[in-house]
Structure 1
Amino acid sequence: MYDAFYPGQVWLDTEGKRIQAHGGSVIYIDDTYYWYGENKEKTDGKNGIWHWGVRCYSSKDLYNWKDEGLIIPPEPDDPDSSLHPSACMDRPHILYNQQTKKYVCWLKIMNKDGTQSETILTADHILGPYKKIREGLRPLGMNAGDFDLAAAPDGKAYYYFERVHTETICADLTEDYTDVTGYYSTHFPRISPPYVREGIAHFMRKGKHYLLSSGTTGYLPNPSEIAVGDSWHGPYQVLGDPHMEDPSHTSFHSQISCVLKVPGKKDLYIACADRWLPKRTYLNYQDYADNFEAIFNPESGKVPDWSVVERKDKEHGIQAGAENTDIADYVWLPIIFENDRPVIRWRDSWKLEEFE
């Protein structure tokens, strides 16, 4: 039994197994927390298995999590399915639609032809079963990357996503949450990775809208960025990196996937993040940042040079290239507001009881 959070350490479920809910979110329903995400239990980086469905856990205290099983299973018998284990399915997000009484799940799919699209499913219960409603959706005709879903108290919902390698989009969802209406706004235009924003996470506090995002460096971590606006569509003012005391500039070697406002707490928001590469925390952002600009922006004049990464990997006995994400860990940290600016500081451990 856990009685605290231990960021970056191995987190086991109530059966003593590693929690497999990567790139996911936490939703609170009827006094129970549900944490769902990518199931990477079979992903060793070599066998061609990208995912094994979406797994969900339940908890009463946020520390101890019971495995509720696969709420969206893989489809290994259909090579053309977006749920085939070899399909690059990422970042499930679920919203409850009060009008339709359905739980609506969106999945990001990186297709074999280089495009990115969405698969949408619905269910009557958070734990499923889920039924595919749409597959191969390219919202607004765009390649849609990392994203978040958010709903206003009146039920109006929004879809924040990375228009791949260019900018961030906020698009209005249809009333049933299974498509976009066509109305959207654009934010944070960038020339190329590593500066393009992905891993978008939206939350609200005191009437303000906040967007947390990461740069674009694959599984290698990078500096987060926080922006604030007065409405769902902004405009957003960039406030900088909330991990201000991280000398590695890697968001404490993690990538935020969602922000949870803890019910019953006056002002407690938790940044829930994945540490995709727990064995490579010796790397700094500066070791590899320029390489991504060199790869994605030929006009930069930079040339890829992985020698520093290769040297450090060799020193630590790590063979890079095949990323074993089934051992990815989690970094859950509280967001502290200093003059209304969000700040995330490292803690080896912490408890909910530390907050009002």
Structure 2
Amino acid sequence: MYNSIRPGQVWLDTEGKRIQAHGGSVIYIDGTYYFYGENKEKTDGKNGIWHWGVRCYASKDLYNWEDKGLIIPPEPENPASSLHPASQMDRPHIIYNMETKKYVAWLKIMNKDRTQTETVLTADKFLGPYTKVREGLKPLNMSAGDFDLAVAPDGKAYYYFERVHSETICADLTSDYTDVTGYYSTHFPHPYPPYVREATAHFIRKNKHYLITSGTTGYLPNPSEIAIGDSWHGPFVILGNPHQTDESNTSFHSQISSVFKVPGKKDLYIACADRWLPEHMDEKYEEYSKLFEAMFNPETDVDWKELAKEHPQDISDNTSIADYVWLPLRFEEPSQEHPFGMVYIDWLDEWKIEDYE
């Protein structure tokens, strides 16, 4: 039994097994927390298995998690399926549609040609079964990477995603949440990685919209960035890196996956992040960021293949042992130094939900 959250330490479920809910999110339904994400239990970096479906866990206290099994199973018998274990499925997000009474799941799929599309599924119950309604969806005819989904109080839904290696897009969803309407806005344009923003996590506090993002360096971690806006479509003002005390410049060796507002608590928001490579925390961001820039900057004279020899890429594939870094957000109200306020993520070896009002 756990009675606290211990960021970066191995987190076991109630059966004593590693929790497998990577790129995950938390949703609260009828008094129960559900934590779901990519199941990497069979992913060793050598067998060609990228995922084994979407796994879900249930908890009453956010500490102890009971395995509820695969809510979206893999399809190992169909090599053409976006849910085949070799398919690069990432970052599932599930929202509830009050009008259709359906739970709607979006999955990011990296295709063999490196384009990225979405698979959309629906279910009558959160734990499933889920049925595919769209596969190979290319939102706005864009290659769509890491993303988040958000629902307004009036039922309108929004889709924040990385237009691959380009910019962040906020797109309106259709009324059934299974497609985009065509209306969208653009944010944070960058010419190439590692500066392009991905892993977008949206949340609202005091009627302000926040986006926390990471840079683009694969499973290797990098500095996060937080931005604030007055509406779903912004415009957004960049506040800076919330991990101010992190000397490694790696967001405490983690990448944001989602932000969860704890119901019943006055101001407790949890930044949920993955530590994808716990065995390689000695890699230096300043060094491998140069590699990613050399790979994607068309004007560079640097030979990225030479740089790559110093950073073996096979380290990024054994994600079955990835850990979780869950930390509370700390808010600083507007001041002369920070006219829009600031949001910080401080390192804590251990912390408790009960310590917050």
TM-score bin (small chain):
over 0.9
> What is the CA RMSD across the aligned residues, in angstroms?
1.3
Deviation of the 1:270 alpha carbon: 0.3
Deviation of the 1:301 alpha carbon: 3.0
Write out per-residue CA displacement over residues 9-36 of structure 1, whole angstroms, 9 at most, x where no aligned residue. Answer: 0000000000000001000000100000
Deviation of the 1:204 alpha carbon: 0.2
Q: Which amino acid aligns with 2:170?
A: C
Take 1:350 and 1:34, find their aligned partners in 2: how far apart are those partners? Answer: 20
Take 2:227 and 2:209, find their aligned partners in 1: how far apart are those partners? Answer: 8
Question: Which residue of structure 2 aligns with residue 346 of structure 1?
Answer: 347
Question: Is 2:157–2:172's contact at 8 Å kept on the other side of the alignment?
Answer: yes
Deviation of the 1:321 alpha carbon: 4.0
Take 1:273 and 1:171, find their aligned partners in 2: how far apart are those partners? Answer: 24
Take 1:323 and 1:118, find their aligned partners in 2: how far apart are those partners? Answer: 22
Write out per-residue CA displacement over residues 92-140 of structure 1, whole angstroms, 9 at most, x where no aligned residue. Answer: 0000000000000000000112211000000011100000000000000
Equivalent of residue 327 in structure 2, options 324, 329, 333 = 333
Question: Is 1:290–1:302's contact at 8 Å kept on the other side of the alignment?
Answer: no
Question: Which residue of structure 2 aligns with residue 271 of structure 1?
Answer: 271
Q: Which amino acid aligns with 1:335?
A: L
Take 1:322 and 1:334, find their aligned partners in 2: how far apart are those partners? Answer: 27
Deviation of the 1:191 alpha carbon: 0.5
Take 2:271 and 2:280, find their aligned partners in 1: how far apart are those partners? Answer: 21
Question: Which residue of structure 2 aligns with residue 199 of structure 1?
Answer: 199
The 10-residue stretch of structure 1 (266-275 or 292-301) with the greater mean CA deviation from structure 2? 292-301
Q: Gapped runs of 5+ residues in structure 2?
A: 334-340
Take 1:125 and 1:280, find their aligned partners in 2: how far apart are those partners? Answer: 39
Question: Is 1:248–1:283's contact at 8 Å kept on the other side of the alignment?
Answer: no
1:324 is the counterpart of 2:325: no
Aligned length: 349
Take 1:135 and 1:8, find their aligned partners in 2: how far apart are those partners? Answer: 35
Specify the SS of the correspondent of 1:286: helix
Question: Which residue of structure 1 aligns with residue 259 of structure 2?
Answer: 259
Specify the SS of the correspondent of 1:91: strand
Question: Is 2:277–2:315's contact at 8 Å kept on the other side of the alignment?
Answer: no
Question: Is 1:193–1:293's contact at 8 Å kept on the other side of the alignment?
Answer: yes
Take 1:193 and 1:300, find their aligned partners in 2: how far apart are those partners? Answer: 13
Specify the SS of the correspondent of 1:47: coil
The 10-residue stretch of structure 1 (158-167 or 301-310) with the greater mean CA deviation from structure 2? 301-310
Q: Gapped runs of 5+ residues in structure 1?
A: 314-318
Specify the SS of the correspondent of 1:242: coil
Specify the SS of the correspondent of 1:140: helix
Deviation of the 1:48 alpha carbon: 0.3
- The percentage of aligned residue pairs carrying the same residue is 73
1:49 is the counterpart of 2:49: yes
Question: Which residue of structure 2 aligns with residue 167 of structure 1?
Answer: 167
Question: Which residue of structure 2 aligns with residue 75 of structure 1?
Answer: 75
